[in-house]
Structure 1
Amino acid sequence: MNISVIIGFYKKLDFLELILQGLSAQTYTDFEVIVAEDNNDATTIAFINAYQKKVSFPIILVQQEDKGFRKNRILNKAISVSSGNILVFFDGDCIPHRESLKEFASNTKDNIILSGRRVMLSQRISERILKRNSIQRLNTLSVALSGSKHIEESIYLPFAWIPKKKKRGLLGCNYSIQKKALVAINGFDEDYEKAGVGEDSDIEWRLLKLNYTIQPMKFKSIVYHIYHDSNYDESDVQFNTAMMIRKKEAGNTYCTNGLIKHV
């Protein structure tokens, strides 16, 4: 298995089904899917067991007890059971374009993080695809006519030049990296137990300190973000931001509370 797709998931099975539809349509097929659920809902087990019969790729479910926001912990558990040399991360509200995995696979290099882009679907089109339980009509035209945001990010250009030096931060809902890179820094830092900051941004600063480069995948790897109400609390963001500042000042790229516990 070359790619392990890891989906951070919490409670929205209707969203997850659309994501799996997007993965079923991939032109690249050498991958497994790991659903990383920050919960231990029996309904998810039944759903995965039923959906596995519909698709050719393996679906692995990792769960943990719901004790608040512990996304980094469940992501580490997912990494620990992964088979792929390349890890692709999608959030549980982001549907991948059918060429996303092909682009991640063909552009993977040592010391590079590939950061895709995101279309922000409007409430109208999100409700429509959820009601139909289908992404069949999800394309640039339908997105453009729906009042969605960042429509330009929905354009797929297979022969587009990828800028090497354009500075852009890591987009945590759509990126890929070689597994060995995350192993080298002990994966995600599980000290972060509040939403908003501390997943992708923490991974970003630690890898950049080790001379990794973020390569933007504009027009290459696209996800469609399903509309939903924001669940971030500003006080949580401030708490995690302050923690990250302290960790940056300490300068330790290898976190002490991370992946190795699950291996």
Structure 2
Amino acid sequence: MKISLIVTTYNWKEALAITLESIKKQTLLPHEVIVADDGSSEDTKALIEAYQQNYPTRLIHSWQEDTGFRLAASRNKAIAKAQGDYLIIVDGDLYLPTSFVASHANAAKENCFVQGGRVLLGPDISKKVIGGGYKPHFFSADIRNRHNMLNSELLSKWFTKIKNNDKSTRGCNFALWKKDAISVNGYNEDFEGWGREDSEMVIRLLNSGLDRIYLKFKAVGYHIYHKESSRGMLDKNQEIYQSAIDQCLTKCANGLDKYTL
């Protein structure tokens, strides 16, 4: 199984560097890392080019012009470039524990997709992490969802469940087979601005007959603190999301196929 790890980013090279560094230390390296860049400036390009010089696996910069928040399009372009059979999609503001990729690989099952968890780092500890060299641990201060830091085979077996709904959808830590992403036509690019593009894709995957594995106590990402994005487009995006539910959609019209045909 080839794994493509897709990392989304936009104009925050300091956080992206933390993510790329943590990927280098994985016990199981992905086949490739694709940075899905929604229009960052030249300093992000320079950072990625510097990493490409000696990165331990294939590192690709997938960039699109900055014409507003277009996360769906950015992810679709990265998926189209991916050589892997299996896709792990994370945000470029996550510190990934060393077993992150291996845990996702172990959780992968046919006819399923995986929702991973996250730990929320507060502003104080985030400054330490961005500053370099600091690794959050269970007893660190300024952490929410601390229980998710437990990396346990036993607890994971007990608490990992099939949950076929879109509740607690987190696009920052998500995994699926590439063929399943293609079958639903990827992310819906009618979404612009923050909100609901992840949940709407989950609805279409469920409508296609796939099961959602809600993975606990494994493959958790540590989210670096930042201010929330604008919710200005949320009402419009909510309508698109609700339409997928009402019409029992399995595919979107404005999606991945424009890059793969």
Q: TM-score range by the shorter chain?
A: over 0.9
Aligned-pair identity (%)? 31
Q: Aligned ranges for residues 136-215 of structure 1 at < 5 Å? A: 137-142=135-140, 146-159=141-154, 160-161=156-157, 162-166=159-163, 169-198=168-197, 200-215=198-213
Map of 2:55 onto structure 1: 55
* Whole-angstrom CA distance in 1 between matches of 2:64 and 2:78: 11
Map of 2:9 onto structure 1: 9
Q: Aligned ranges for residues 1-263 of structure 1 at < 5 Å? A: 2-131=2-131, 133-135=132-134, 137-142=135-140, 146-159=141-154, 160-161=156-157, 162-166=159-163, 169-198=168-197, 200-233=198-231, 235-263=232-260
How big is the alpha-carbon RMSD for the aligned residues of Structure 1 and Structure 2? 1.6
Q: Deviations over 1:193-217 (max 9, x none)?
A: 121222x101110011112111121
How many angstroms does 1:134 deviate by? 2.7
Q: Does the CA contact (< 8 Å) of 1:170 and 1:214 recur in 2? A: no
Distance 1:258 1:166, change over 3 A: closer
Unaligned regions of 5+ residues in structure 2, if any?
Answer: none
Unaligned regions of 5+ residues in structure 1, if any?
Answer: none
* Whole-angstrom CA distance in 2 between matches of 1:65 and 1:170: 27
Count of residues in correspondence between the two structures: 256
Q: Secondary structure at the match of 2:139?
A: helix
* Whole-angstrom CA distance in 1 between matches of 2:49 and 2:217: 34
How many angstroms does 1:147 deviate by? 2.2
- Give the letter aligned to residue 92 of structure 2: G
The TM-score, its normalising length taken from structure 1, stands at: 0.92
- Give the letter aligned to residue 259 of structure 2: H
- Give the letter aligned to residue 55 of structure 2: V
How many angstroms does 1:166 deviate by? 4.8
Q: Secondary structure at the match of 2:109?
A: coil
The TM-score, its normalising length taken from structure 2, stands at: 0.93
- Give the letter aligned to residue 46 of structure 2: A
Q: Secondary structure at the match of 2:187?
A: coil
* Whole-angstrom CA distance in 2 between matches of 1:134 and 1:18: 10
Q: Secondary structure at the match of 1:140?
A: coil
Q: Secondary structure at the match of 1:77?
A: helix
How many angstroms does 1:31 deviate by? 2.4
* Whole-angstrom CA distance in 2 between matches of 1:134 and 1:34: 24
* Whole-angstrom CA distance in 2 between matches of 1:174 and 1:163: 15
Q: Deviations over 1:19-48 (max 9, x none)?
A: 011111110124211001100522222211
- Give the letter aligned to residue 120 of structure 1: L
Q: Does the CA contact (< 8 Å) of 2:5 and 2:30 recur in 1? A: no
* Whole-angstrom CA distance in 1 between matches of 2:252 and 2:243: 13
Q: Deviations over 1:155-192 (max 9, x none)?
A: 11134315334565432110110100000011111000
Distance 1:120 1:30, change over 3 A: closer
With 212-221 and 159-168 compared, the bigger mean Cα shift is at 159-168
